[in-house]
A and B are shown apart, each in its own frame.
Chain A
Amino acid sequence: MTTAGLRRGLLRGRRPLPRRYVPVLVTTGLLIAMFAAGGVRYENFATGQIVLNVFVDNAYLLVVAIGMTFVILTGGIDLSVGSVIALSTMVSATLISDGWAPLPVIGLVLLMGALLGLGMGAIIQYFEIQPFIVTLAGMFLARGLCYVINTESVKITDPLIVALGETHVPLGPELWVSPSVIIALVVLLAAIYVLQYTRFGRGVYAVGGSEQSALLMGLPVARTKMAVYTISGFCSALGGVLFAFYTLSGWSLHALGTELDAIAAVVIGGTLLTGGYGYLFGTVLGVLVLGLIQTILNFEGTLSAWWTKIVIGLLLFAFILLQRLIGARGGQAPPTPS
């Protein structure tokens, strides 16, 4: 319902806009404003390829943020995604340079990511440990495993992977995207379908709304919670594969801090950190906002790369406050116990 719901919400016009769409709309407005500002300030900025380049550069982040959205919708968090990306690039690069065929390697890496996620989900569910702690452990574990495999960067020279990394899929005159973008968009559409049109997807929202209630309503809470971490693990591994396409290498220090970028993208996209509210469409916008900040700073040229972090930090503050305000207006005072 993300895009369709948004459109319907806009078309209804007369009716006051449902509050749950406000964060998404704010992010949309922000994105348009940023793009317009860039277009006014720099020549050659307001072109289609600039937007497409944001997709090309951040396809892996989009996939990871999609997995993160599932987790955050249940009220959890996954800090391991950046390390799983690095581990995935490392495993892929090492196995391929050892002479394995690329496709089985990719399959293996995806399975590894999913299993890692499932393991963390099971620990979170059955030992009732905070997701923060469990995935923090997963983060150290995956990053550490990278160094066990190799402390140096490993180059990928396999022709198929190089082709996937360097092919330009033409979209029109002077417009192109990489195959990774198409993979990311397929994942996005599948994820939107799952969240909106399956019992599992609605269960994710229900668990995020109130785990206790979901349990009493007879929903499979344990299965849902473990599934979201599995999805996140899978998405991180896939993100790692896309990252390997992008950089044509495996390295222990790849994607340092990407977990925080993914969380920032999800939050800027309007998903509530406490769970239950948010749309994947917003996550796409969040990723675009982060990517566009980077692009603008590149155009500016003279500014230090740390300005990206500063702007993201300020945006996060603003969006968390916005969520708080919306939440405060919507919240009912809990009844006083007698």
Chain B
Amino acid sequence: MAAPEPILRMRGIGKQFPGVRALDGVDFRLLPGEVHALMGENGAGKSTLIKVLTGVYEIDAGQIELAGRPVAFSSPLAAQQAGISTVYQEVNLCTNLTVAENIFAGREPRRMGRILWREMRRRAAELLARLEIDVDVTAPLSSCSLAVQQMVAIARAVDIDARVLILDEPTSSLDAGEVAQLFRVMRRLKDQGIAILFVSHFLDQVYEIADRMTVLRNGRLVGEYRTAELPQVELVAKMIGRELAELKALEDRPPEPDGAPLIEARELSRTGAIQPFSLTIHRGEVLGLAGLLGSGRTELARLLFGADHATSGTLRVDGKETALRTPRAAMGHGIAFCSENRRAEGLVPGLTVRENLLLALQATRGWARPLPRARQEELVEKYINALNIRPADPEQLVRNLSGGNQQKVLLARWLILEPRLLILDEPTRGIDVGAKTEIQRLVAELSGGGMAVLFVSAELEEVLRLSHRVGVLRDRRLVAELENGEQLTTDRLMETIASGAAS
């Protein structure tokens, strides 16, 4: 394929947010009739680049050319009118309207102001037939699967004469069959000469559909590659930013646990969130969960905590089958969950350290039996000291604490309950090195004391340093369970994540 003129060319794009350089001198080009994947870890700048392109943000530096002419869009609508359509992960359609209406809403064929329903249905059916989507256009959109809804969104987008189609994580809530259907539609559009920018966390999907890919890291361009010429392992290394050879195993492994099974999951699953998995966690064991963002780590953890309902499979706690229907039930079994999103799901920023610390304990006692003040102060002091929370002032508002100390408060809140299984979802993300090592030390101590810990982290070194065993997730499937021993290195973990098989 001789390289044709790019339909879209972005040069030296820079975008600054307060305190963050989100994009720094990024070049990007998109050829007509290709599927181009935009790759990078979370925070690499993928969504910023898309938002800059579609007019959600203005650029601080650089230029954008569409079909050779410089452009600057002031709004997504302006970008759409110029031929750049975007379909987001959440389908932005009205599920109460029919399929045909969703495609033509605001552009219905009319005569004298009267909507021509028959004409609209016929044209919608034609359009969907061209994309080989078999669906009744008179059916309400809510009766369609998410995949079909996504494709209706795409049909709407391309019918507005799109030359560039941006698909931002379109596959994240689709199952394998639906993804195949989506890819068929994408290939058809590609054959019609539409340039498609595709963002996905699923490496397999990227390798199946993309012709070329552009890798970003920390807001900078790493490079543009042909998919066929870049092995998956190298791609992962480029995304994470380290050469494989540099990554070496760490010395201090945790001692072997010697406990009875605490939790056993058998073929547990939740449709759209995680494929069936079987997993056993023993007393005093640290089980690490590794995998890229969106690989299903959090989803797995939420199932074990009862925050989501399993659609199939069984769960045993202490050898007895239990359905954990609510987090409260899980807490009753001594399971605690320290969430990834500490601001939104965990802490109450307007309350003091003391109040935040005692929230969960008080909840288990019930509001009718308040904890005596003396006992409160004793507990709070103990945990502030144990976790080295700074400032050591129980009456300080939590919103005034640094991220690392907030994380420690959240952790302490669950530790006060003395759980038997502690689920930590990304406990060290976004906090400074000092607090990080303290939390790691604490995890090791806790498991030494007999507590089981499920440790979810994107940092492979951290997972290796702490875990007795490591579960590897990929594309919402638990692909491997590895014993943490001499042979297990970050190298091998990364290969497992990339290839999807225990080698």
Contact = CB atoms under 8 A, between A and B. Distances in A.
Interface of A: 18, 20, 196-199, 202-203, 205-206, 208-210, 212-214, 216-219, 276-277, 330-333, 335-336, 338
Nearest to B274: A336
B63 interface: no
B110 A202 contact: no
A335 B105 contact: no
- Nearest 9 pairs of A and B residues by beta carbon: A209-B94, A209-B96, A276-B96, A335-B173, A216-B92, A213-B92, A338-B294, A206-B94, A336-B273
B306 interface: no
A338 B299 contact: yes
B418 interface: no
Contacts of A217: 92-94, 102, 105-106, 156
B95 A199 contact: no
A18 B140 contact: yes
Contacts of B113: 198-199
A278 to B, nearest CB: 10
Contacts of B41: none
A338 B94 contact: no
Contact of B298 (A202, A219, A330, A338): A338
B108 A205 contact: no
With a 10 A CB-CB cut-off, give which of A196, A206, A217, A277 has the most chain B CB atoms: A217
Contacts, number: 84
B61 interface: no
A199 B117 CA distance: 11
A8 to B, nearest CB: 10
B230 interface: no
A213 B94 contact: yes
B272 A335 contact: yes
A119 to B, nearest CB: 27
Contacts of A213: 92-94
A213 B294 CA distance: 24
Contacts of A332: 142, 146
B228 interface: no
A212 B91 CA distance: 11
A276 B94 contact: yes
A335 B146 contact: yes
Contacts of A330: 142-143
B115 interface: yes
A335 B299 CA distance: 10
B266 interface: no
A276 B146 CA distance: 19
A214 B272 CA distance: 26
With a 10 A CB-CB cut-off, give which of A20, A198, A199 has the most chain B CB atoms: A199
Contact of A338 (B96, B110, B140, B172): B172
B244 to A, nearest CB: 26
A203 B95 contact: no
25 contacts: A199-B108, A199-B115, A202-B97, A206-B101, A206-B105, A209-B94, A210-B92, A213-B93, A214-B94, A214-B105, A216-B76, A217-B93, A217-B94, A217-B105, A217-B106, A218-B106, A219-B105, A219-B106, A276-B94, A277-B96, A330-B142, A330-B143, A335-B146, A336-B272, A336-B273
Nearest to A331: B142
Nearest to B293: A338
Nearest to B296: A338
Interface in B283-324: 293-294, 296, 298-299, 302, 308
Given A197-B115, A202-B115, A336 B105 contact: no
B406 interface: no
Given A218-B80, A330-B142, A205 B173 contact: no
A18 B138 CA distance: 11
Contacts of B77: 218
Contacts of A336: 270, 272-273, 298-299, 302, 308
B140 A20 contact: yes
A332 B270 CA distance: 14
Nearest to B143: A330
Contacts of B294: 338
Contacts of B93: 210, 213, 217
B114 interface: yes
A145 to B, nearest CB: 36
Interface in B64-121: 76-77, 80, 92-97, 101-102, 105-106, 108, 110, 113-115, 117
Interface string B36-80: 000000000000000000000000000000000000000011001
Given A196-B115, A197-B114, 5 more contacts: A202-B101, A205-B94, A217-B93, A217-B105, A276-B96
With a 10 A CB-CB cut-off, give which of A205, A333, A336 has the most chain B CB atoms: A336
Interface string B401-424: 000000000000000000000000
A219 B108 CA distance: 12
Contacts of B94: 205-206, 209-210, 213-214, 217, 276
A199 B110 contact: yes
A9 B14 CA distance: 56
B296 A199 contact: no
A223 to B, nearest CB: 12
Nearest to A201: B115
B270 A199 contact: no
Contacts of B156: 217
B354 to A, nearest CB: 30
A208 B96 contact: yes
B105 A202 contact: yes
Contacts of A219: 105-106
Contacts of B308: 336
B299 A205 contact: no
A280 B442 CA distance: 64
Nearest to A330: B142
Nearest to B144: A332
A12 B294 CA distance: 44
Nearest to A216: B92
With a 10 A CB-CB cut-off, give which of A197, A277, A333, A335 has the most chain B CB atoms: A335
Nearest to B113: A198
Contact of A209 (B95, B146, B270, B272): B95
A210 B106 CA distance: 14
B106 A203 contact: yes
Contact of A198 (B102, B114, B143, B173): B114
B338 to A, nearest CB: 17
A47 B102 CA distance: 45
Contacts of B106: 199, 203, 217-219
B108 A202 contact: yes
Contacts of B76: 216
